[in-house]
Amino acid sequence: KADYWIPIRPQTDAALWLGVTRLMIENRWYDERFVKEFTDFPLLVRTDTLKRLRAREVFPDYRTSLSPDGPSMKIQGLTAEQHARLGDFVVWDRSASAPRALTRDDVGRRILEKGIDPALEGTFNVKLANGRVVKVATLWTLYQTHLKDYDLKTVGEITRAPVALVEQLARDIATLKPVAIHQGEGINHWFHATEMNRAAYLPLMLTGNIGQPGAGCHTWAG
């Protein structure tokens, strides 16, 4: 009882979703405002270590603005010790042409209130607090590099799925609201299952289908 069915080889779910994600990014089938305000795509990553750039690495004597009364600690249960270990993040502010610190609570309207316009794409040279200059890139830019391996032809060869249906799936996710992805528990029993589950979230992150009734990525079992 489906409008269409896409057969794929077992264990190739990640390749399918990465191919869908590449199509959506290349065709600009995404909600740029949601991506910039509610995902980690704009966060800066050090190209020398491939780790997220932390605010304490950039700003001398950095002091966090994360409130103990904010949602991270009051609702999500983040502890002060965990926050001290994780640190705060950094984006490239297009309006200031400079790096700016972000906390976990700085999403949606909070970014706007701070006057930050995060760059979604790009590589930048950032001077660290210790005087070193490192090259950084947005996570979005790194995904674009990774997704070069997942063109439609290659995805078809990996999954053995009809490429026309893969493209239709990408278009449908981009144009329908809301969109939900339901995965069987069997996927989680395969090697690299975490990567498969994470890949399924990418198209939903692009289109704002997170945290909305009828949307999201869900696993079924039993």
Condensed to tens digits (0 to 9), the pLDDT of residues 137-186 reads 999 999 999 999 999 999 999 999 999 999 999 999 999 999 999 987 76
- pLDDT mean across residues, the chain: 94
Q: Under a CB-based contact definition with an 8 Å cutoff, are residues 215 and 179 in contact?
A: yes
pTM equals: 0.91
Q: Cα separation of 131 and 57, whole Å?
A: 10
Angle at 153 between CA 25 and CA 4, to 5 degrees: 80
The pLDDT of 182-197, averaged and rounded, is: 77
Q: Cα separation of 23 and 149, whole Å?
A: 12
Q: How many CB atoms lie under 10 A from the CB of residue 33? A: 11
The H or E element that residue 93 is part of is strand 89-93
Q: What pLDDT is recorded for position 187?
A: 65
Tens digit of pLDDT for each residue in 89-116?
999 999 999 999 999 999 999 999 999 9
Q: What pLDDT is recorded for position 222?
A: 62
Q: How many CB atoms lie under 10 A from the CB of residue 168? A: 14
Counting Cβ atoms within 10 Å, is residue 117 exposed (0-12), middle (13-18) or buried (19+)? middle
84: its two tokens: 């001290």
The pLDDT of 59-76, averaged and rounded, is: 95
Portion of the chain with pLDDT greater than 70, in percent: 97
